[in-house]
Amino acid sequence: MQPAHEVPQRRRSAFVAAFLSLIFPGLGHAYLGAHRRALGFAAPPILAGALVAGLAVRMDVLTLAGVAIQEWFIAAVFIVNIVAMAYRAAAIVDAWRIARWLAGGSGSGSGGRRTAGGGVRMASLPGLLAVLLVMATLHVAVGRYDLLLAGTTACIFDSGAAGCGGTPGASGGSGAPTGDASATPEPSAVGTAVPSSSIPPWNGTERLNILLIGADEQGGGHNTDTMIVVSIDPLTNRVVMFQLPRDTVDVPVPPGPAQKLFGTTYAGKINSWFVNVRYRADLYPGTAQTRGYNGLKDILGNLYGLDVKYYMEVNFDGFRQIVDALGGVTINVQVPVVDDSYPAGDGALQRVYIPSGMQHMSGADALVYARSRHASTDFDRGARQQRVLLSLRQQTDIGRVLPNLDSLAAALSASFRTDIPRDLFPRLLGLAEHVTTRNVRSFIFTPPFYQTEYTQGTYRIVPKVDRIRAAVRDAFTADSTLLDRREAISAEGASVYVLNGTRSSGETGKIADYLEFLGMAASAPSQKPDVSGLSTTTIRVYNGAEVSAPLTVSALEGVFGTKAQLLTDPAATADIVIVTGTGTPALTPPPIP
């Protein structure tokens, strides 16, 4: 008990003492004048808080988030929370007891003032219980969110964990429902099962490649409609994103068991590769939950000439929920989105219109913006998807996350998966903190420069593998001005015909190849122009294409040194027609290095 000379001989409220100790251990003792005891209770939390603060100030927010998802950290928070609750309860009860003793007199409490003191004690007991209840409620809340974090991270890092809201990739087909994986037995391997293998750890200095997947699981399928390989240079904090459209066919198959089955190229659309390899233990290592991802990393890594180490996947419904949990996302819509045939589910179609300018979007709106593919090119669609990702990266902060933890955790548990090791996340998120949009470059491998487009029958595009691999190899060193101009011209999507207005043969094909190198959708049909024998090149721009494709027109005028003619002809089959003359320069695209 506190020495008599330290205890002021005046009454103090036991409830106030307990309440002050609720605010901070030892504060109630200071209120009672028991200063040594106050210091004894206050010192441990002050020292612990200083230690934690010292560690925290050395890490940025994203690095802290990476630490917070570690299993050891979650377990430590659980234990520390219990210890802290017991410690605070002891401080509260001790301050309350001292106040009782003071109210009952300076003796042991067995003298003549016992009844009056007992009355005081009985009156303050409900107050003590109320303070303890409030304190316990706070710690129960911390424990609840700690367990919520444990469950969420278990679902993210272990796709087979029990209690998760869903399992991306659990369906067996690409299009029609085939039932849940638990109800559909995994087919036996046709050949010898591929032995399991571990992913060599990232050394922290080499170029790191991560596959981002957006999966469409409507109707029970699992089409990987969005596939973006993010390549990170940790030495310069530069990031390049490589995106392959879902309709790409004839992607080279890597040497090995898969090539023996499918041949040197995969004839199907690349968004169906996942479901065609996920059950085949003779093709790729892993389980029914992970084999498809391993196969997708393998075939895209082979196409790009990269070692794609990890993947991160979210299904489209989960993406919508995540954006809503973050309070929506604001996107700078550079080109209005108009789609009269956007799928609304159950075979229904709806009209979509998203105006240009800064637009704050809900999860459903952002999904429509990212997925709409009618009345726009694959390049535009890919650019929109990457713009959504960058906008979310810029706008996500602790202030937006904390109020929506429950809904965000539910969305992540049900829809988000990755094979990135937990212990690598602090380093990756710390690296992401230093990446700005100025350091991010994107490549969307669309026609005409990177692919050849076929529109007869089923729409499909065939990659020009050499050009794609050269772009990936030189992504961090290539001339950014040329790349930006090519992407801007390609985004305009103007069709260009090159017609032979001279007697020289073969020149139009080379010119079309050169214009394609600049990013234009150029071709050299065999049709004859209505004029010939000209000395200069003629550029004809039809039906207002100068408005929709100003960069293309400007580039052509610069290449051929002549002014374009603006014409109106409803029968025109191309946006721009070039008729060569005797003075047309000999143009040949540079060789792929």
Domains of the chain: 4-157 (no CATH), 169-177+193-315+416-478 (3.30.420.590), 491-579 (3.30.70)
The angle formed by the CA atoms of residues 56, 61 and 64, to the nearest 5 degrees, is 55
**Which is it for strands 440-444 and 238-243: parallel, antiparallel or unpaired?**
parallel
Lowest-confidence region among 96-110, 279-293, 295-309, 570-584: 96-110
Contacts of 29 (CB under 8 A, 6+ apart): 17, 21, 35, 37, 38, 41, 91, 94, 95, 98
- Residue 172: the pLDDT is 37
Per-range mean pLDDT, top range of 19-33, 221-235, 372-386, 447-461 = 19-33
Contacts of 455 (CB under 8 A, 6+ apart): none
Structure tokens at 379: 């390049």
Whether 3 shows a pLDDT value over 70: the answer reads no
3-state secondary structure 293-348: HHHHHHHHHHHHCCCCCEEEEEEHHHHHHHHHHCCCEEEEECCCEEEEEEEEECCE
Whether 112 shows a pLDDT value over 60: the answer reads no
| Whether the Cβ atoms of residue 6 and residue 36 lie closer than 8 Å to each other | yes
Higher pLDDT, 104 or 99: 99
Whether 115 shows a pLDDT value over 80: the answer reads no
Average pLDDT over residues 94-118: 62
d(CA 67, CA 88): 26
Question: Sign of torsion, CA 11 16 22 28?
Answer: negative
Interval 547-583: pLDDT, tens: 999 999 999 999 999 999 999 999 999 999 999 998 8
- Residue 455: the pLDDT is 78
Structure tokens at 88: 């605070």
Per-range mean pLDDT, top range of 266-270, 349-353, 426-430, 499-503 = 266-270
Q: Which of 367, 273, 266 is nearest to 321 (CA)?
A: 367
Interval 445-466: pLDDT, tens: 988 889 888 877 788 899 999 9
- Residue 533: the pLDDT is 75
Whether 182 shows a pLDDT value over 70: the answer reads no
d(CA 331, CA 395): 10
Whether 273 shows a pLDDT value over 90: the answer reads yes
For residue 118, count CB atoms less than 10 angstroms from its CB and return exposed for 0-12, middle for 13-18, buried for 19 or more.
middle
Contacts of 112 (CB under 8 A, 6+ apart): none
Average pLDDT over residues 77-84: 94
- Residue 311: the pLDDT is 94
Whether 5 shows a pLDDT value over 50: the answer reads no
Interval 226-245: pLDDT, tens: 999 999 888 888 889 999 99
**Helices and strands (H, E) in the chain, number of each type:** 20, 19
Q: pLDDT band at residue 61, thresholds of 50, 70 and 90?
A: low
Average pLDDT over residues 260-267: 93
- Residue 399: the pLDDT is 64
Contacts of 239 (CB under 8 A, 6+ apart): 230, 231, 232, 233, 435, 439, 440, 441
Map residue 509 onto helix, strand or coil.
Answer: helix
**Which is it for strands 576-579 and 538-542: parallel, antiparallel or unpaired?**
antiparallel
- Residue 127: the pLDDT is 86
d(CA 296, CA 215): 12
d(CA 560, CA 539): 9
Residue 561 gets the label, from left (phi > 0), alpha (psi -120 to 50) or beta, of: left
Burial 294-306 (b: 16+ CB within 10 A, else e): bbbbbbbbbbbeb
Q: For 424, which DSSP code?
A: G
Task: For the chain, give the percent of residues with pLDDT over 70.
Answer: 84
- Residue 166: the pLDDT is 52
d(CA 226, CA 385): 8
- Residue 116: the pLDDT is 45
Q: For 528, which DSSP code?
A: P
Lowest-confidence region among 5-19, 97-111, 246-260, 343-357: 97-111
Tell me the H-state helices in 158-255. Answer: none
- Residue 180: the pLDDT is 34
Average pLDDT over residues 7-24: 80
